[in-house]
Amino acid sequence: MGTDTLNALLALPGSERVELAMALWQSLEATERDQALQLDAELGAELDRRWARHQQHPQDAVSWDAVRQDLGLA
Q: What are the boundaries of each domain within the chain?
A: 3-58
d(CA 42, CA 48): 10
**What does the pLDDT average to over 12-38?**
94
User: What average pLDDT is seen over the chain?
Assistant: 94
pLDDT digits (tens, 9 = 90+) for 26-60: 999 999 998 988 899 999 999 999 999 999 999 99
d(CA 25, CA 12): 18
**The model scores a pTM over 0.75:** no
